[in-house]
Structure 1
């Protein structure tokens, strides 16, 4: 399955400026493990994650004079799975990702986890086929709006809640996973955060970290 790319996928990659030459490489970048257990995006995702991190880190260093902590906060937001999935949706990755029958029926083409992973795998493929400069330039084109926005500038909800609890002489917030459901590629986590003698809030998201963040945000909206 991974040895061929449909003509429409080749045209799509060309339009993105990625100019595929090794069909096997790009097919793997777009293939989920449910479709091919041996030749899929996992190894390329590993490489692409580093490409994205370095590209964004250098970009922020050149663009801003902020301190290390602020740069790290922005970097984390800009390379997050959610941001990768947002970029993936905008450029149409869902139309080209290769999923097994069950994963597709379970909504895998819309999963933040899968779309984010494929986005990183594409960066890995760009690096291996064309070199770092091409991969970096792709990041600069497709992440431009996010970098120019306020992504990562606001205080992280969990940090804000931690500081709020300390300022109000309360114990640190406690996070509890209430439920985990769904298949691995589209799992849903429900988390409760509570502050002693104040209250609690719950939220559900596609990762434990995102659920904790959403619960902290809900708590601050309700009690902060």
Structure 2
């Protein structure tokens, strides 16, 4: 795994750093020594919440405060940020201590989510608020567009799928684990979601059976609601 200070001066997501040391720090877990990314994570958390709140405010001009708050919570939760980290391929670029490397820390949601927040802060400190927002908001664009209507935000995908089917008198979905692998500390599950009517079969992947089923249900919803 490459050390963070060898990762280059261009961050995942496209920002060209004037100060490569900020990028290196953002990609350094505390297990790898100092300077690490915990302080950057603190600042990045606030910035991410600000960017996402503003984006939702503009995206849903008629949504009430409750719906906006629930939607923001969905977008800035650990699993959502970890998903962004994987899209940016942050894991292989993280500098981790020997213990974290041995236990697959570069795949762990908590470490990946923290790295995203730290990276956001590093971009902000290297540039300015507007530049940082322009770099970061595209990372969330797909998730914002995939949000359910404001009155359904906060309900998980399996619940929303069940309500959609029940509301139309359709049979409930059938879930099954189709694959399970990985080491004991980093299990990976793949689950299927099968609908009889309309005939749809989707799959999802996650660190637990429930997470994999939720992804499969979300994929099924996107098909039947399209």
CA contact (8 A) 2:27 2:118 kept: yes
TM-score (norm 1): 0.65
Q: Which residue of 2 aligns with 1:45?
A: 41
What is the number of equivalent residue pairs in this alignment? 162
Cα 1:92/1:187, change in 2 over 3 Å: closer
**1:80-159 → structure 2 map (5 Å cutoff):** 80-150=77-147, 153-156=152-155
Q: Which residue of 1 aligns with 2:174?
A: none
> Using the alignment, how far apart are the partners of 2:90 and 2:154 within structure 1?
30
- Displacement of 1:134 in angstroms is 1.6
Cα 1:41/1:187, change in 2 over 3 Å: farther
> Using the alignment, how far apart are the partners of 2:97 and 2:10 within structure 1?
21
> Using the alignment, how far apart are the partners of 2:77 and 2:136 within structure 1?
14
Of 57, 60, 63, the residue aligned with 1:61 is 57
Q: Which residue of 1 aligns with 2:8?
A: 10
Alpha-carbon RMSD: 2.8
- Displacement of 1:117 in angstroms is 0.1
Q: Which residue of 1 aligns with 2:24?
A: 27
CA contact (8 A) 1:4 1:24 kept: no
Cα 1:4/1:23, change in 2 over 3 Å: farther
Cα 1:11/1:128, change in 2 over 3 Å: closer
Structure 2 gap ranges (5+): 160-184, 188-205, 215-226
TM-score (norm 2): 0.64
- Displacement of 1:100 in angstroms is 0.6
> Using the alignment, how far apart are the partners of 2:55 and 2:111 within structure 1?
26
User: Which segments of structure 1 move beyond 4 Å, counting only runs of 4 or more?
Assistant: none
- Displacement of 1:12 in angstroms is 4.9
Structure 1 gap ranges (5+): 161-185, 189-204, 218-224
CA contact (8 A) 2:9 2:20 kept: no
- Displacement of 1:16 in angstroms is 2.5
